[in-house]
């Protein structure tokens, strides 16, 4: 069994620059003609846009709870068959969350590269790096990279504090050109920025001057080669959606789409077609619709006037054909959307009520949805609150807990329409995912 060079890029906290470093590494090696595969630890939708642009390859999420150990093993092993190196971006701080990025690193033997914002420290940098390495016995360790460093002299001071010189992998100087822009749900989607590739190239150029950036592939394999055992052979999902066409909204307003969800629908036999509500496109001929999450609040004025999309969605639902809407997709289905500055926009009116944007995060964390055909795993992450008299057919629950009447996310049901703040990972229960896109006895009433 051959080894594949793998790094898990982590940090002591969010906001240290691990996404920039991961994308810069991917871009640097892709420019050099290497095949790079990148994964994101946790349920994040936004960072993968940058990693996809940097690597030119699909980026999937991996998480020991949401996607499951078997799924993680299968994806890493498949990537190792085609890639020269694999990068995994961690989530939050290295030991934050249950399970954490450190749990993933230890489960699969992935060496950890710690990215530390060193802008306001000197000698403490070495202590922090030492603590991250040794806090948990047996953690595979690659080294440490200093970010947002003030000067070459500052970098020298930081390097002197690292207990093992072999673990000093360099410093990135403070540079506004290397900053990836953010907004309320995280990074700005890379495809929205005309200069996204220039930003990645600037970060890759800076990284190329570090010890980490100057290592060739043989040195990567020698230092950080990982042998990934093949996953057990399992049967494929039943083609429950064979002969069905699922229309998926996909544009800047509805962009929170796991690539694995599209893969799962195709594996279930569905033919996928795409449309843009933001462009006021009518829904294509289909048997079911998926409205994923995104940023309807940023495009509320445009969406409010998109009568072709609204009329085609209504006709679809009135015909009793299934419509599954997640988070931002659900927000667009209510009567109204109120933005954080108090402006109110009429939405599409397939669900009664309104959503109101908050200035602070309203909900965050892993969730699961029990359906008759299985339990879907996923997460919730939103800044708005829903106020609706629509019937609630189910509620999500946190991992390993039972649904409670006033806890979890509501699943609203209005005829053929089902909607929730819950973002589902379809691969966690393909048959349950399929049930969202086929009619049942509940589509003709509440």
Pairing mode of beta strands 186-187, 182-183: antiparallel
Q: Which of 41, 255, 286, 327 is catalytic?
A: 327
Contact in structure between 359 and 321 (CB atoms under 8 Å): no
Tell whether the torsion through CA atoms of 382, 401, 262 and 312 is positive or negative: negative
Which residues make Cβ contacts (< 8 Å) with residue 340, sequence separation at least 6?
Answer: 297, 357, 358, 359, 383
Tell whether the torsion through CA atoms of 10, 13, 19 and 24 is positive or negative: negative
Whole-angstrom distance, CA of residue 184 vs CA of residue 50: 17
Contact in structure between 383 and 360 (CB atoms under 8 Å): yes
Length, in residues, of the chain: 446
The secondary structure of residue 227, as a DSSP letter, is: -
Chain-centre distance for alpha carbon 338: 26
Asked about 255 being catalytic, the answer comes back as: no
Judged on CB neighbours under 10 Å (0-12, 13-18, 19+), 205 is: middle
Contact in structure between 88 and 8 (CB atoms under 8 Å): yes
Whole-angstrom distance, CA of residue 350 vs CA of residue 414: 8
What residues are labeled active site?
327
């Amino acid at each position: 069994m051959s080894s594949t060079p793998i790094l898990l890029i982590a940090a002591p906290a969010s906001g240290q620059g691990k996404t920039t470093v991961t994308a810069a590494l991917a871009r640097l090696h892709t420019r050099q003609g290497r095949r790079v595969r990148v994964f994101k630890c946790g349920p994040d939708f936004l960072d993968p846009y940058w990693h996809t642009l940097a690597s030119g390859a699909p980026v999937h999420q991996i998480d020991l709870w949401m996607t499951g150990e078997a799924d993680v093993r299968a994806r890493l092993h498949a990537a190792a068959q085609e890639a020269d190196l694999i990068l995994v971006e961690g989530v939050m701080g290295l030991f934050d969350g249950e399970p954490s990025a450190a749990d993933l690193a230890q489960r699969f033997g992935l060496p950890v590269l710690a990215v530390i914002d060193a802008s306001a420290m000197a000698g403490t940098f070495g202590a922090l790096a030492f603590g991250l390495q040794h806090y948990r016995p047996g953690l595979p360790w690659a080294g440490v990279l200093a970010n947002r460093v003030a000067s070459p002299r500052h970098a020298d001071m930081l390097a002197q504090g690292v207990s093992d010189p072999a673990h000093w992998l360099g410093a990135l100087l403070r540079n506004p050109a290397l900053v990836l822009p953010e907004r309320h749900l995280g990074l700005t989607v890379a495809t929205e920025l005309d200069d996204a590739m220039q930003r990645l190239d600037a970060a890759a150029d800076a990284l190329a001057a570090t010890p980490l950036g100057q290592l060739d592939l043989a040195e990567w394999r020698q230092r950080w080669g990982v042998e990934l055992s093949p996953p057990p052979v399992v049967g494929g999902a039943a083609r429950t959606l064979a002969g069905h066409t699922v229309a998926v909204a996909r544009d800047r307003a509805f962009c929170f789409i796991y690539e694995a969800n599209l893969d799962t629908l195709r594996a279930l036999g569905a033919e996928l077609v795409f449309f843009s509500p933001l462009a006021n496109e009518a829904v294509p001929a289909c048997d079911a619709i998926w409205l994923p999450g995104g940023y309807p609040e940023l495009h509320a004025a445009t969406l409010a006037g998109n009568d072709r999309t609204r009329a085609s969605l209504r006709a679809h639902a009135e015909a009793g054909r299934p419509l599954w809407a997640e988070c931002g997709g659900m927000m667009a289905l209510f009567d109204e959307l109120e933005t954080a500055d108090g402006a109110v926009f009429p939405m599409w009116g397939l669900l009664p009520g309104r959503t109101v944007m908050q200035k602070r995060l309203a909900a965050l964390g892993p969730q699961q949805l029990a359906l008759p055909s299985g339990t879907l795993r996923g997460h919730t992450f939103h800044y708005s609150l829903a106020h609706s008299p629509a019937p609630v057919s189910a509620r999500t629950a946190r991992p390993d807990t039972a649904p409670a009447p006033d806890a979890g996310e509501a699943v609203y049901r209005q005829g053929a329409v089902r909607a929730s703040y819950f973002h589902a990972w379809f691969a966690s229960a393909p048959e349950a995912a399929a049930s969202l896109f086929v009619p049942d006895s509940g589509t003709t009433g509440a």
